[in-house]
Chains A and B, each alone.
Chain A
């Protein structure tokens, strides 16, 4: 169970539990009309469903902080639609659906260690390292003579993720990818 908070503790980034679900405050504004009471205007985002709504709170309102913890988990394998992870300290195994993993499916390769966010013992999301290394499994050869600066071509990575890469990249090469925007960073010599 989380800690009891008052409206005065509310701020952007704070995580709350309401009706058994975790919420994060994504936008926050303190207002106080002349001679009136303090109001705390929040935009709340459900950390499981992603749905957002606005709500205004007053000084007397009380809240529960969300009981969240982060664990380092190693990605083991994908089976059908489920992704299997192992806690790197307890060796406990956890599976998540593709929907729960979200865009991170683009970067999950065997043995990658990610940070998993747990709410009441249930996994609700994962955060990736900023950079991962993926192998190119398919890309057409670059067109000779096309030297336009910044020219790119699509390449399919071992996870099935397709990104734009420079023309000189060939199949079988390993690339460093920025997971925050899905962009090519550089070639990695293996």
Chain B
């Protein structure tokens, strides 16, 4: 099919996308959030074992997430922030993955991951109510049921029930990833979205650990129709613990033969002043995809990688 036909056939999806973005902006502005823009070019992306940044020359990388910059603003006294931004991750290409995609990220000071779950319920109800009015608002045929509570499931319970083992007590990274994708995720979030929460400390990322035995991270992922939509947590605010985790990741990267990364020192200096806060990143392309009833993010992005 000629490109012009492919593009013109996307009119409805792009129309929906534009309106979802408009609805998200007005929702956060009404709730008193400040919209910010943080740099797309960064000298030091957050150290991650499983996320590869795209090198941009001159010692810079394309941002893999706005997380560190948004927390530097929180440390300077901003209380409620949101951002809609493109981010870039090397080597990610699939039905639900593009190397360039759009994140909606928001933060609140004085909040925990449970507050962020409530934020998700409010936001999605509003976006979906609008979707229903325009003939969309369904997710593979299942509309969010208003007034019905969304399920919260701990990682431990979900794995015991669906994969037959406890990753919190005895973590196995390979088995965890494979079982999560093949045995757990496909059953989460029908018909209403659900929260998968309390991750093993090995998958805490930048989340605070709960004072529980065994310890778990105050982190959750939002699933809808078997699709991971958002990742939120109570932020770690302990600079020593954060440095220790980054050092461990950088050592793991070295051991795995991955390229070296500078330590994000400006961020580590800032979190000395970071108050208790929580934040979340939601995949905008996937949300629009679900609202459009599409089966791939390719359908809701004007130029997916194959059209570049």
From A31, A56, A58, contact of B96 by CB (8 A): A31
Pairwise interchain contact B178-A56, C-beta atoms closer than 8 A: yes
Number of interface residues of A (CB under 8 A): 15
With contact pairs A38-B50, A38-B91, A58-B174 given, residues A33 and B205 touching in the complex (Cβ less than 8 Å): no
User: Scoring A residues 14 to 44 as 1 if CB is less than 8 Å from chain B, else 0, what string do you get?
Assistant: 0000000000000001111111111101000
| Chief secondary structure at chain B's binding surface | mixed
Q: Is the Cβ of B97 less than 8 Å from the Cβ of A30?
A: yes
Number of interface residues of B (CB under 8 A): 24
> Nearest chain B CB to A22's CB is how many angstroms away?
25
- B92 with A38: CB separation less than 8 A: yes
Q: Which residues of A contact B182 (CB under 8 A)?
A: 41, 56
Contact of A33 among B93, B94, B95, B180 (CB under 8 A): B180
A36 touches B95 (CB 8 A): no
Q: Measured between C-beta atoms, what is the minimum distance from B225 to chain A in Å?
A: 15
Whole-angstrom distance from the CB of B231 to the nearest CB of chain A? 5
Cβ of A142 under 8 Å from chain B: no
Decide yes or no whether B172 CB sits under 8 A from chain A: no
B177:A36 contact, CB within 8 angstroms:
yes
Inter-chain contact B231/A36, CB cutoff 8 Å: no
Whether the Cβ atoms of B203 and A36 lie closer than 8 Å is yes
Q: How far is the CA of A117 from the CA of B182 in the complex (A)?
A: 34
In the complex, besides A32-B92, A35-B48, A37-B50, 19 extra interface pairs with C-beta distance below 8 angstroms are A8-B91, A29-B95, A31-B94, A31-B96, A31-B181, A32-B50, A33-B177, A33-B228, A34-B228, A35-B50, A35-B231, A36-B173, A36-B177, A37-B174, A38-B91, A41-B181, A41-B182, A56-B178, A58-B174
A-to-B contact residues, CB < 8 Å = 8, 29-39, 41, 56, 58
8 interchain residue pairs of minimum CB distance:
A30-B94, A36-B177, A34-B231, A33-B180, A31-B181, A37-B50, A35-B205, A37-B177
